């Protein structure tokens, strides 16, 4: 090896000298010595590689400490963290879906920090039932005979099928064999739950006679799946739930409806589109209804099942229930959420999703307008900023046809700043680099920041000065 390189290798500090240096003290205090050591060793190895390749390196202790600090920070940025969701999708599956009401947050913190009555009955001093309180609330709110909860709606559907249709046939309309979010496909779920799918009707039209013809000795139940994330327009027909319920009753099999996004209120009363509720579905004759806790309900990730006592009892007796049951944090959050639904007059104020869905454009526009000057200062020669009328969507397969008018801040690349696509990517990247990353979307040549979901304006404005668009 040549002389100069040997010298450079020799100049790299020993790991102990690095860890004991003044520059490393704060890092060791925050991250612990072993973690700093691991990252420092990796940094030193990178420096040796760079030297071998003939690159100039900063081998000073202070310089290496800065590199280690940077690596530790990059590492931590990959942890799950808070973001500003200005994507215009209110229930964004990739951004954590529903924001929890304060009552749920407080309830979760309490049961996390201390022992709780998760499965303990205070009245008798004996073992209690994990879902007793939730079941009571769900029955009161939906009018169902019985209810239970599991980890998510996908689990609710699997458990239902595995309990009520194992080794048997489940007819589903071809118009409802949907894929939800990549890996969740109704046909696969049916198969993996140990059942056989019987496809009925066609993509656009399915009739009662198709279901009638599909029924046989092996038919376990009829499943109706809410179409959720897409809409078929034109020459279409689906079977009325009441007719399907009647057919099931005559055949002596349960009628199961996967609602996907359940809400316990009439959204039309708030100026939004109609979304079928579990109450309506039960009233039309469904024996069992499943829906998500973190879609339009606006709570924690959970799968809720409501319906006939005997069916819920069978589901609870399935050993798979134990594998899919909710933890205490979900139970606490969901209980507090359901309590809010008991006071509908306070719901808009206390349920973040409903509050966000019903914010007026006037309020959003005023808020966005106040932020414009801050953007204009920061964007300098890179982009212009202006108010843009836009439309938010609910997301997560809820109300797929429905948009809510909203107002956003449109960041438009200046022609002098370079290729628009690259400038948009640079803008989006810089917003993601902020202490609380900001997530927008590209819309008609703008990077659009839809302000409907922006509630913490102070926090948002306060960090904008750190927006670094490079040069």
Ligand X SMILES: *Cc1c(COP(=O)(O)O)cnc(C)c1O
Q: What is the contact surface with ligand X in residues (CB under 6 A)?
A: 152-154, 157, 180, 184, 225-226, 228, 258, 260-261, 292, 303, 396-397
| Closer residue to ligand X, CB minimum distance, 152 or 378 | 152
Least distance (Å) from ligand X to the CB of residue 146?
Answer: 20
Minimum CB distance to ligand X, residue 398 (Å): 7
| Residue 186 CB, nearest approach to ligand X (Å) | 7
Minimum distance between the CB of residue 184 and ligand X, rounded to whole angstroms? 6
Nearest to 440 by CA among 411, 465, 420: 411
* Dihedral angle, C-alpha 237, 243, 244, 247, nearest 10 °: -130
In the complex, what is the shortest distance from the CB of residue 206 to ligand X, in angstroms, rounded to a whole number? 16
Q: How many residues does the chain have?
A: 471
Residues with Cβ within 8 Å of 122's Cβ and at least 6 positions away in sequence, in order, are 128
What tokens appear for 336 in the block? 């507090």
Strand partners, 389: 407
The secondary structure element, H or E, covering residue 258 is strand 255-260
Cα dihedral value 371, 377, 383, 388, nearest 10: 20
Task: Name the minimum Å distance from CB 122 to ligand X.
Answer: 31
163 to 198, 254, 313, 343, 463: CA distances (angstroms): 18, 12, 10, 35, 51
Measured from the CB atom, the residue of 6 and 203 that comes closer to ligand X is 203
Q: Which is nearer to ligand X, 219 or 226 (by Cβ)?
A: 226
For the CB of residue 261, give the shortest distance to ligand X in the complex, in Å. Answer: 6
Q: How far is the CB of 227 from ligand X (least distance, A)?
A: 7
Indicate the residue among 159 and 215 with the shorter CB distance to ligand X.
Answer: 159
Name which of 131 and 446 has its Cβ closer to ligand X: 131
Q: Which is nearer to ligand X, 179 or 433 (CB)?
A: 179
Nearest to 399 by CA among 233, 267, 263, 228: 228
Residue with smaller CB distance to ligand X, 150 or 265: 150
For residue 15, the minimal CB distance to ligand X (Å) is 47
The closest residue (CB) to ligand X is: 260
User: Any idea of the CA torsion for 398, 403, 407, 412, to the nearest 10 degrees?
Assistant: 90
Please tell me the distance from the alpha carbon of residue 238 to that of residue 203, in angstroms, as a whole number: 10
Report the SS3 class of residue 29: helix
Q: Which is nearer to ligand X, 160 or 228 (CB)?
A: 228
Identify whether the C-beta of residue 379 lies closer than 8 Å to the C-beta of residue 400.
Answer: no
- Whole-number Å distance between alpha carbons of 224 and 290: 11
Which residue number, 285 or 397, has a Cβ lying nearer to ligand X?
A: 397
* Residue 455, φ and ψ in degrees, nearest 5: -110, -40
Residue placing its CB nearer to ligand X in the complex, 71 or 177: 177
Closer residue to ligand X, CB minimum distance, 228 or 263: 228
What residues contact residue 183 under an 8 Å CB cut-off, 6+ apart? none
Q: How many other CB atoms are found less than 10 A from the CB of residue 297?
A: 25
CA distance 124 to 211: 49
Q: How far is the CB of 299 from ligand X (least distance, A)?
A: 11
Contacts of 249 (CB under 8 A, 6+ apart): 255, 285
Joined together, the tokens standing for residue 67 give 């590199």
Output the six-digit token pair for 106. Answer: 């407080």
Least distance (Å) between residue 215 CB and ligand X? 23
């Amino acid at each position: 090896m040549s002389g100069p390189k040997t010298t450079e290798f020799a100049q790299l500090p020993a790991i102990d000298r690095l860890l004991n240096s003044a520059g490393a003290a704060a890092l060791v205090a925050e991250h612990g010595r072993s973690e700093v050591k691991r990252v420092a060793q990796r940094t030193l190895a990178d420096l040796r590689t760079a030297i071998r390749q003939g690159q100039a390196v900063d081998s000073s202790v202070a310089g290496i400490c800065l590199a280690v600090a940077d690596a530790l920070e990059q590492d931590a940025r990959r942890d799950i963290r808070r973001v500003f969701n200005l994507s215009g999708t209110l229930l964004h599956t990739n951004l954590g879906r529903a924001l929890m009401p304060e009552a749920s947050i407080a309830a979760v913190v309490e049961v996390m920090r201390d022992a709780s009555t998760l499965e303990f009955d205070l009245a008798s001093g004996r073992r209690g039932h994990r879902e007793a309180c939730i079941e009571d609330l769900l029955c009161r709110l939906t009018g169902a005979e019985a209810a239970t909860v599991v980890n998510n709606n996908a689990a609710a559907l699997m458990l239902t099928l595995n309990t009520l249709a194992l080794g048997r046939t489940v007819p589903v309309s071809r118009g409802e064999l949907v894929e939800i979010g990549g890996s969740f496909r109704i046909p696969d779920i049916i198969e993996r739950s140990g059942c056989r799918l019987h496809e009925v009707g066609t993509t656009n039209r399915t009739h009662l006679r198709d279901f009638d013809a599909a029924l046989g000795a092996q038919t376990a139940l009829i499943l109706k799946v809410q179409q959720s994330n897409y809409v078929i327009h034109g020459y279409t027909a689906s079977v009325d739930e009441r007719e399907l319920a009647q057919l099931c009753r005559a055949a002596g099999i349960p009628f199961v409806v996967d609602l996907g996004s359940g809400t316990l209120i009439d959204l039309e009363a708030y100026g939004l589109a109609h979304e079928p509720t579990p109450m309506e579905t039960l009233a039309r004759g469904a024996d069992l209804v499943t829906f998500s806790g973190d879609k339009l309900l606006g709570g924690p990730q959970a799968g809720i099942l409501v319906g006939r006592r005997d069916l819920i009892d069978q589901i609870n007796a399935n050993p798979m229930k134990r594998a899919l049951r909710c933890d205490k944090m979900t139970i606490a959050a969901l209980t507090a959420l359901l309590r809010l639904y008991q006071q509908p007059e306070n719901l808009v104020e206390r349920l973040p999703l409903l509050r966000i869905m019903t914010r007026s454009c006037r309020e959003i526009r005023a808020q966005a307008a106040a932020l414009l000057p801050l953007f204009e200062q920061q964007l300098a020669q890179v982009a212009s900023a202006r108010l843009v009328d836009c439309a938010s969507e609910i997301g997560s397969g809820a109300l797929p046809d429905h948009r809510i008018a909203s107002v956003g801040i449109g960041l438009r690349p200046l022609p002098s700043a370079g290729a628009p696509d690259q400038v948009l990517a640079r803008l989006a990247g810089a917003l993601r680099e902020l202490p609380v990353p900001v997530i927008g979307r590209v819309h008609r040549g703008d990077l659009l920041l839809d302000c409907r979901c922006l509630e913490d304006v102070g926090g948002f404005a306060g960090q904008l000065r750190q927006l670094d668009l490079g040069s």
